Structure 1
Amino acid sequence: MVDEVPLERSTRQLIEEARARQDALARVDELMAQATGTAHDVDGTMELTVDARGKLLRLWLAPAALNYGPDRLGALIVEVAQVAFREATQESYNRVALLLGEDMTYLVEQLSGMPAPARDPHADTGLTVEEFQRRREQRLGRPAASRRPPDPADDDLDSFDPATLRSDR
């Protein structure tokens, strides 16, 4: 047996809420079309921007990119474009989530067949701890062989800006 629960809203309020949701859903395509993603290769020889549909909007190549040869350059462009596309996809879902809320955005993801990169358990989450440490050693001017336990005095926590941390939603 199903228990009946009285509604706290009038029929008019329910209709207004449904219309507001319908208007918001109509804006989803517009919001997703505005989202872009930009990525570059680790050597800084290229940077490209794509939209959430994968359309190439901008491509910049350094003169050194010509040394790669056509096969390697083409593969690198595709790889960097895929990273930019994942960023654009995530940005589009972030925009939609602000409008529709998390639950409705999840439904849009399911309907599109493209889950948000932040939900992908196999996605590259960024730098590994080892890579971060290697780059830190380079910035501090120490060779990798001279690694020592971290010294708290080396970290300048006063200059840390929490706004630089990325939030997926």
Structure 2
Amino acid sequence: MITTRRLIAQARAREEAMAKVDELLATASGTAHDVDGQVEVTVDARGKLLRLWLAPSAVNLGDRLGPLIVEIAQAAMREATQDGYNKVALLLGEDMTVMIERMTGMPAPARAEDDDPGMTVEEFQRLRAERLGAAAPEAASAVPSAEDEDAYWESFDPASLRSDR
């Protein structure tokens, strides 16, 4: 049963969490670079330029340099926006974050229709089997030993997973 005290405590907790959103967004940033590694841009979640790095060879781009910097800055901004949403989602939860996305009209970049959908379950399992050293597909379906499982999780990179958050 939900009591009045519990509702008040939940409201206070939500209010404290909302007060932390500004602090979180101040720490969010995104970095992007071109495929040739000639331009790298870092921006914060509000779009403020934090770092612009140009390789000496970037001078050879001529008139293409300006548009390339803008394109890279836009990619960095998408990265910063996603970083901000990721941090807010950890604090406020998925439902509140989706509500914020709707209110601002800025959906998380990971929800974009043209975004890379990431790896499939089958691809993930195949890569996992390779990491664990399974020689045959039958070995991939076998139950791994506790040692194999521990070794897997020690080397596991969560960035390899596809997520909207």
TM-score range, shorter chain: 0.7 to 0.9
User: CA–CA distance in 2 between the matches of 1:158 and 1:59?
Assistant: 40
TM-score, structure 1 as length reference: 0.71
Q: 1:103 to 1:30 in 2, by over 3 A?
A: same
**1:167 deviation in Å?**
4.3
Count of residues paired in the alignment: 133
SS of structure 2 residue aligned to 1:27: helix
1:34 is aligned to 27
SS of structure 1 residue aligned to 2:37: coil
SS of structure 1 residue aligned to 2:42: strand
User: CA–CA distance in 1 between the matches of 2:77 and 2:117?
Assistant: 15
- Higher fraction of helix: 2
* Structure 2 unaligned blocks of 5 or more: 119-129, 134-151
Note the 1:75-114 alignment, pairs <5 A.
75-114=67-106
2:41 is aligned to 48
1:9 is aligned to 2
TM-score, structure 2 as length reference: 0.73
What letter is aligned with 1:21? R
**1:109 deviation in Å?**
0.8
Identity %: 61
CA deviation digits over 1:106-130, x for unaligned, max 9?
A: 011111111000111133x299xxx
1:165 is aligned to 160
User: CA–CA distance in 1 between the matches of 2:161 and 2:40?
Assistant: 20
**1:68 deviation in Å?**
0.6
Please give the root-mean-square deviation of Cα atoms over the aligned residues, in Å. 2.3
**1:48 deviation in Å?**
1.2
User: CA–CA distance in 1 between the matches of 2:3 and 2:15?
Assistant: 18
Note the 1:56-75 alignment, pairs <5 A.
56-69=49-62, 71-75=63-67
User: CA–CA distance in 1 between the matches of 2:105 and 2:26?
Assistant: 17
Look at both structures and tell me which one has the larger radius of gyration over its CA atoms: 1
CA deviation digits over 1:26-55, x for unaligned, max 9?
A: 211221121000111000111110011111
